[in-house]
Amino acid sequence: MTIPALSAELEGKRAVVTGGSRGIGAAIVQRFLDAGATVVTSARTPTEHTPSAAKFVRADVSTRDGVRALADAALETLGGVDILVNNAGDGRPFPSVLEIGDDAWQASLDINFLAAVRLNAALVPSMVAQGAGVIVNLSSMITNAPMGPLLHYAAAKSALETYGKGLANDLAPRGIRVVTVAPGNVASPGSDVVRREMTEHLGLEESAFDVAVPLGRVGQPADIAEAIGFLVSDRASWITGTRLMVDGGESPHL
Ligand SMILES: NC(=O)c1ccc[n+]([C@@H]2O[C@H](COP(=O)([O-])OP(=O)(O)OC[C@H]3O[C@@H](n4cnc5c(N)ncnc54)[C@H](OP(=O)(O)O)[C@@H]3O)[C@@H](O)[C@H]2O)c1
């Protein structure tokens, strides 16, 4: 295999990344742009961290209409999709599992599980038509050790992992790879709030999250983006159906 320079590795590739307005998603978008891809990204609200070289589509992907709007805009802009990253996710902790109400369970399934299922259903046909494509679903380290305050989030991410494994088996003969990436504790606008609330609910020190990481620091969005940059490239052409932990060693038992 001839390996192209990193700056040209994704040249000619058309990518869709959900939740690219900030945090991990914005880093993934930037990593793909740096490697030469054309990128469509989405969120409900753009921020100053949203890479401006990507086409931004305002859409709430927790709804069927939002997914449809993003899929239509992506196909119209790109003509087809080579890389799809289901990154948008949301999980605010509750004081205890007993306080997670029915609406919160449904909302978590909508954004952390069904958004990916629906967007894949809309965009995979274009990958099947060209006989190639890569899908990356963003799960979480939390599925290794689900915690009560975030059980709605952990359970939805577990569903996403099971779905990703099955989808990979089904789509492999059609030339499409599907991988799950499970980040550990990564600094981002959303997760910084979550960690603060978790320390309150569980009575922990703020530093507890750094201490738990064998590599001695919480991750940065670029740590996740770099792993995904590899997984969507042809260097990873024999990798499918896998779940990659990117967590600084925090889950050494798996
Ligand atoms: N950071 C971590 O420690 C960590 C750990 C494990 C897993 N993860 C996973 O990694 C992914 C990215 O996390 P992050 O830390 O970067 O989160 P973040 O800072 O909260 O960013 C989340 C992104 O998703 C978008 N989003 C959320 N709800 C949406 C909706 N209903 N429709 C459209 N877009 C929506 C947000 O934009 P809008 O709010 O404007 O829509 C934003 O662009 C998530 O799937 C998360 O579960 C993160």
Query: Ligand 1 pocket: which residues have CB below 6 Å?
Result: 19, 21-25, 43-45, 60-62, 87-91, 111, 138, 140-141, 183, 185-186, 188-191
Checking if the pLDDT of 189 tops 70, the result is: yes
Write down the pLDDT at residue 208.
Answer: 78
Residue ID of nearest Cα to ligand 1 atom 6: 140
Checking if the pLDDT of 216 tops 60, the result is: yes
Checking if the pLDDT of 254 tops 60, the result is: no
> Is residue 211 situated within a structural domain?
no
Strands 133-138 and 14-18: unpaired
One-letter identity of residue 16: V
The residues, any chain, with a CB within 8 Å of residue 193's CB and separated by 6 or more, are 92
Q: How confident is the model at residue 5 (pLDDT cuts 50, 70, 90)?
A: confident
> Is residue 157 situated within a structural domain?
yes
Residues with catalytic function: 153
Do 224 and 186 form a contact (C-beta atoms < 8 A)? yes
**Residue 173's CATH number:** 3.40.50.720
> Is residue 225 situated within a structural domain?
yes
Do 23 and 188 form a contact (C-beta atoms < 8 A)? yes
The residue that leads in pLDDT, 254 or 120, is: 120
What is the percent of the chain where pLDDT is above 70?
A: 98
Checking if the pLDDT of 3 tops 80, the result is: no
Q: How many domains does the chain have?
A: 1
Checking if the pLDDT of 206 tops 80, the result is: no
Full-prediction pTM beyond 0.85? yes
The residue segments making up the domain with residue 234 are 9-186+220-245
Q: How confident is the model at residue 213 (pLDDT cuts 50, 70, 90)?
A: very high
Write down the pLDDT at residue 253.
Answer: 64
Task: List the structure tokens of 241.
Answer: 């159906």
The residue that leads in pLDDT, 79 or 252, is: 79
Residue ID of nearest Cα to ligand 1 atom 48: 183
Checking if the pLDDT of 225 tops 70, the result is: yes
Q: Is 135 helix (H, G, I), strand (E, B) or coil?
A: strand
Distance 17 CA to ligand 1 centre (A): 11
Q: What is the pLDDT of residues 131-163, one digit of tens each?
A: 999 999 999 999 999 989 999 999 999 999 999
Residue with structure tokens 């921020």? 47
